[in-house]
Amino acid sequence: MARVRMRDVAEHAGVSVRTVSNVVSGYPHVSPETRAKVQRSLDELGYRMDYMARGLRSGRTGFIALAVPFLAEPYFAELAQAVIRAAGRRGITVLVEATAGDSEVERRILEGGLTNVADGVLLSALTLPATDGAAAAPDFPLVMLGEHSVGDQFPRVGIDNVAAARTAVEHLLEQGCRRIVALGRNGSENGRQRTEGYRQAMSAARVRRVNWLVAPVDDWTREQGYAAVRELLEGDGPLPDAIFAFNDALAVGALRALDASGVRVPEDVAVAGIDDIQESAYTHPPLTSVAPDLDVIAERALTLLEEQAGRRSGAQGAGRPGTEGAEGAGPEPVTARQEATPFRLVVRESSRRRPPAR
Amino acid sequence: MARVRMRDVAEHAGVSVRTVSNVVSGYPHVSPETRAKVQRSLDELGYRMDYMARGLRSGRTGFIALAVPFLAEPYFAELAQAVIRAAGRRGITVLVEATAGDSEVERRILEGGLTNVADGVLLSALTLPATDGAAAAPDFPLVMLGEHSVGDQFPRVGIDNVAAARTAVEHLLEQGCRRIVALGRNGSENGRQRTEGYRQAMSAARVRRVNWLVAPVDDWTREQGYAAVRELLEGDGPLPDAIFAFNDALAVGALRALDASGVRVPEDVAVAGIDDIQESAYTHPPLTSVAPDLDVIAERALTLLEEQAGRRSGAQGAGRPGTEGAEGAGPEPVTARQEATPFRLVVRESSRRRPPAR
DNA sequence: CTGAAAGCGCTTACAG
DNA sequence: CTGAAAGCGCTTACAG
């Protein structure tokens, strides 16, 4: 019951390993009879590819790495799920790394810490300042995932943060809200962009400055949303009539704080968030949110990764040829494509203050 | 800027690759001067281990595979997070697979589908009937994770389902509830065990049979919890005075259904679940739940995996030696250890009907 | 404590 | 369309 290698299959079928390899990897030019014969041996012996060996030889591992800050945050869990599903469709296995939002860890990944183990890297950075990595474009396939962008030397796939935020705030304005809190500023690039969307919407609606409210937080978590809104409610200013949370986790925390203080939603305060995590359909009341299309994000990210890999290794995919003397024209500088993916506003009870127009 | 190999480092430092390998892998018997010299070359050249090559040679990949049904389910996301964290502490990288609860996929994993890529497998099976795989103990390190058990030929790490369920129901009984719905029966082994816990608690409290209520579901999701409770409320029987949900996702759905129907929690109906997912502290009202210790589960599972790997390869760890002629005494039958990990009841507002005893 | 060498299981030009 | 052979970057007995 020892390990079955290609050589064993070849002997069993009476062909060379080359032929077995061809059959296994789906190389088209194999005679049907040979293929059938080999397939029979494959099945009979229960052959299973050794991916390590293939990876060593071909320079391709069949893995991609996905690095997210926290897998336990619903948004990232749902994103990871979408990536794993999309990768599965392409026969790619996903290696999940949790960075804990540690910029040291994120930097290491940007510097290629995962390249020996993965053909490409999907990084959902949290803390990396936009100036970082400006020095060098990576010499391996890399796509930034989700909202955060690190300068623009890397391709990124995600929604347009400014537009998403503007959409949410415009919706609140349409409900008749004026005194709207922007909940979530925290010094991140993403936070700046969502603040900008808020600003644009408020400005376009000519809301007076006295009604522009900002509640800063450390992280975009339920805890922070709760704490920030508690503080707001305990202050002596007049109540806001709406809260725009920079993500749904913050909104969930905000809803809990409002509930605990007996503030009615949406009658007293309307609430909207971004991400449309699954939880948001079950809050009290159900949460209005801007929904990114995670499947589209995952698909595009993988496509971009493949494009980069293709560009890097030439047409026929010579993998890791010998001493790599002639590197072609060298890895072409990847055009930084910042793809904005579609999103839609999902209106639920938390912001429904006016009867829907018929 | 070609790839730096051990050979390059060896030349640069004026030693053999053997020595470089020794330094890199932390082999103790290297003279301090040599070590320092090699280290300098390592740093200077920016050497990075090729894990594929090491994996091929040593028979050990440095990966473990974690298979869960859905990464987007909070419980599994939090479990995965705990596993990744624990693995990181041991220098192990985690490969995450999503089975979608497909028994075909789960069976394939049980048959070794991931062994060529991972040193061990952590499987959180959902649908596998207990009879499956009874045929053969696996010939690779495998630990079943979480609540589901597939017979007892595999080691399993998780809470005692019967005890956890009993604890939750006993708590509801203590609150004065009598007419308690068991929400979640679905034909799974886990479901049977939690039903048994319910039965034990109800029976011990001598609750009359007319008050034993069961609400079956397909999956343990928010959707199903919502639908089942809607149906319950629309029926013509008297209302229950408590709902024991087999997990928190079901409880979240139940809370939403009760909220939508204007039923007050906990005054009219008390609610308790199992899992204590992060979301549960933010529901309306906050949810009482039985909390497993995911960090303990992850740690124990990894330890068990290592024990199995050790048993399999002999003391000095000869990896994959030659033709493996002498397989020792063969892989010893792994004693099926069903480790019950600790849990605690977290009481929140959803079940607090009586003033706490002082 | 260190070197020279074999070999892990694959893929892939090179011939035929 | 198929074979024989080299080699990917490591680890590890075997010598010394």
* pLDDT tens column, B270-307: 999 999 999 999 999 999 999 999 999 999 999 999 88
Give CA torsion, residues B81, B84, B85, B87, to 10 deg.
160
Whether residue B334 has pLDDT greater than 50: no
- Mean pLDDT per block of 10 residues along chain A (358 residues) reads 80 90 85 89 89 84 90 95 92 86 82 83 77 62 80 84 97 97 92 96 97 96 98 91 98 98 97 98 98 96 88 45 36 59 97 73
Nearest nucleotide to B33, CA against C1' atoms: C1
Q: Tell me the C-alpha distance between B16 and B4, whole Å.
A: 15
Higher pLDDT, B107 or A272: A272
Residues paired with residue B122 on neighbouring β-strands, in sequence order: B66, B143
Chain B residues in contact with A7 (beta carbon < 8 A): none
The string of pLDDT tens digits covering residues B179-219 is 999 999 998 889 999 999 999 999 999 999 999 999 999 99
- Min CA distance, B328 vs chain A (Å)? 13
Do residue B77 and residue A56 have CB atoms under 8 angstroms apart?
no
Report the pLDDT value the prediction gives residue B322, as an integer from 0 to 100.
35
Which tokens belong to A103?
């910029």
Residue A51, CB, strand C, below 7 Å: no
Partnered with residue B142 across adjacent β-strands are B121
Of A317-326, A343-352, B85-94, B158-167, which gets the smallest average pLDDT? Answer: A317-326
Between A51, A61, A81, which is nearest B116 by CB?
A: A51
For A19, the token pair is: 């032929």
pLDDT at B324 over 60: no
Strand C contact with A260 (CB < 7 A): no
pLDDT exceeds cutoff 70 at B328: no
Task: Among B53, B96, B113, select the one facing A94 at the smallest CB separation.
Answer: B96
CB A348 within 8 A of CB A287: yes
Cβ-contact B278, B74 below 8 angstroms: yes
Give the pLDDT mean for B13-42.
Answer: 88
Give the torsion sign (CA, B118, B122, B124, B127). positive
Q: What is the reported pLDDT for A276? A: 98
Residue B136 has pLDDT above 70, yes or no: no
Contacts of B286 (CB under 8 A, 6+ apart): A256, B280, B348, B349, B350
> CB of residue A15 closer than 7 A to nucleic acid strand D?
yes
| Closest-approach nucleotide to residue B27, Cα vs C1' | C1
Q: Please give the pLDDT value at position B46.
A: 87
Answer whether residue B224 shows pLDDT above 90. Answer: yes
For residue B324, give the chain A residue with the closest CA: A2
Q: DSSP readout, B258-326?
A: HHHTT--TTTT-EEEEES--GGGGGSSSPPEEEEE-HHHHHHHHHHHHHHHHHHHHTTTT--S-TT---
Encoded tokens for B49: 């281990």
Average pLDDT over chain B reads: 86
Give the pLDDT score at B358: 54
Structure tokens at A169: 């705030």
What pLDDT does A333 receive? 46
Asked if B25 CB < 7 A from strand D, the reply is yes
Chain A: give the shortest CA distance to residue B134, in Å.
19
CA of B21: nucleotide with nearest C1': D11
pLDDT at B75 over 90: yes
* DSSP state at residue A330: -
The pLDDT of residue B317 is 33
Token reading at B335: 């004693």
Give residue B315's pLDDT.
35
Provide the pLDDT for residue B318. Answer: 35
* B2 pLDDT tier (thresholds 50, 70, 90): low
**Cα distances (angstroms) measured from residue B171 to each of B175, B190, B352, B355:** 6, 20, 10, 13
Two structure tokens written together for B309: 């790997």
Q: Report the distance separating Cα A241 and Cα B335, nearest Å.
A: 62
- How far in angstroms lies nucleotide D10's C1' from the CA of residue B62? 14
Q: Which of A50, A88, A95 sits opposite B95 (nearest CB)?
A: A95
Quote the pLDDT of residue B56.
Answer: 86
Q: Are B338 and B319 in contact (CB under 8 A)?
A: no
On chain B, the residues whose CB falls within 8 A of the CB of A77 are 71-72, 74, 77, 80
β pairing state of B120-123 and B63-68: parallel
